[in-house]
Amino acid sequence: MSVETNIPKRTRSLRTRMVLTFSAATALWLGIIAGSVVLGIGYGLGGQMSDLRQGMRFLAESEQEATEIGRRVAAGENPADIGRDTSITEGFEGTRLRIIRADGTVLFDSATGGPPETVGDVVITPLEVLSLIPSGDPNYPFRAIGRQIVADNEIWGYYFVTFQPGSEFQLIQSEVPEIGHRFARVMIMGFIISVFVVYLWFMLFAQRVVLPIQALSEYVLQIGTGETDEHAEVYSGTNEILELTRSIQRMVADLNESRRAEKQADDRRRLVVSALGHDLRTPLAAIRSHAEALADRASSDPEASAATIIRRSAHMQRLISDLLAYASLGTMQAFPRETFDLAELVRESVIEQLSRLEALGFAVDVDIPDRKILVSGHRQSLQRVIDNLMANVLSHAAEGLWLAVSMHERVGRVRISVEDHGPGLPAGVEVFEAFQTGSQERSGSGSGIGLAVVQDVVRAHGGACEALTNAAGGCTVWFEVPTLS
């Protein structure tokens, strides 16, 4: 048996789809993570980006101012005049500039009238917020940014800018931790959302791929048990899995057909063995009885005994031939086919039987077209069909010695009929079943499987057959097969 499927091709296509699905899921997950980062930054900083840029610009300008103050101090200018000329605090609300000498003396304060402030020997580094600088109101803290003022390569003093709480520069110290918290929250939410989305993606993937593969695997495992139905509903997912399922179902259909053919062949062989043991026993006993009588010269009519032996031997020969033909029908589909003229085959069969029919006193009517009627099939098997139909007449038509063979062509089919004037068909008997020999009204000398062979051969050729009682009370058996014309 040959099973042609696209299983390897479908399997490769399914594997490609799985790789693409996993790649898409990974890309989606990374995209969600990247989006979370962007959203985290945007949400964390929020509307403070402008203030942060201003604060960073202020820090850069304070570095430049400290350098300029150091240059002017080294040049001998008055620090108070230098402080008044400094414009760094202009445009920034809530700021206060002080220039302090290294010994702690405040030489310039942009907010006049305040208490003197001393910082001692503290060394201030860029971008570092030192401490809360005390003022007259302990509930009103100030934050400070300081720069070193270097003159002649020595630390001359310090340059302080303080900020009131709530100003935009509060962001540099107070809001950066909150930004981090916001960023972390957005990242966590993004991660949770990405995991949920990827989970949904893989659930869909499982629904479309994994579950169908599991169902298909269970379906394939049932093949070995012989309980697989090729028409069973199998869960289908993607187009590749659906095509793979259909390919496997076609394979299962072929396997089931092969199993049915094997079972039918086994049944036939068992039936043939049983028939050989049953139907050959009676003629063998008769042959042996008459042969022993002839050998002992005890037969009162040697010629009759010899005729019985010949008749019984011929019956056994026909029975064995029919049994072997019936047993071989299980491999009918494997027989080689050829194109031949069926009209010529029927004519040859009638001619071969004509002398015997005439010797038995049969009147024979033949109606076969002169033209060719081409069919495709196994010539020897169809030859046996015709011979079996004529042998059926010889076996059963003990009365009304008349036989007619006709052949009529229709569109795409041809029908061959064999008629006799015998006693007709018995009621309630399926004559096409094996080992049905009819009623006692017909002679009952047949093997009982001739018409069974006819039916199986005709069906193997895509045809049909029927047996019925004709208007004259005899039997008509016809069969038809497709033609090539």
Written as one string, the DSSP assignment of 180-211 is: HHHHHHHHHHHHHHHHHHHHHHHHHHIIIIIH
Residue 122 placed within a domain = yes
Of 119, 143, 173, which marks where a domain is finished? Answer: 173
Residue 40 placed within a domain = no
Residue 96 placed within a domain = yes
362 & 462 share domain: yes
| pTM, two decimal places | 0.44
CA 312 to chain centre: 62
Contact 130, 144 (CB under 8 A): yes
Domains of the chain: total: 3
377 & 308 share domain: no
Q: Return the pLDDT at 375.
A: 95
Residue 299 placed within a domain = yes
- Give the residue from 392, 390, 394 showing the smallest Cα distance to 405: 390
136 & 162 share domain: yes
393 & 341 share domain: yes
Contact 162, 81 (CB under 8 A): no
Q: Return the pLDDT at 347.
A: 93
Residue 313 placed within a domain = yes
353 & 473 share domain: yes
Sign of torsion, CA 29 35 38 40? negative
Contact 407, 457 (CB under 8 A): no
435 & 463 share domain: yes
Residue 467 placed within a domain = yes
> How many separate helices (H) and strands (E) can be counted in the chain?
11, 11
351 & 429 share domain: yes
Domain housing 389: 336-482
314 & 404 share domain: no
- Give the residue from 334, 409, 345 showing the smallest Cα distance to 380: 345
**Could you give the CA distance from residue 209 to residue 203 in angstroms, rounded to a whole number?**
10
367 & 312 share domain: no
Q: Return the pLDDT at 236.
A: 57
158 & 285 share domain: no
Matching residue, tokens 């009103």: 140
Averages of pLDDT over runs of 10 residues in the chain (485 residues) are 48 58 66 63 53 60 79 84 73 70 78 48 37 39 67 83 54 48 68 76 69 71 64 60 74 78 74 62 75 77 81 74 65 72 93 82 90 91 86 69 91 92 70 57 50 85 90 88 89
Residue 197 placed within a domain = no
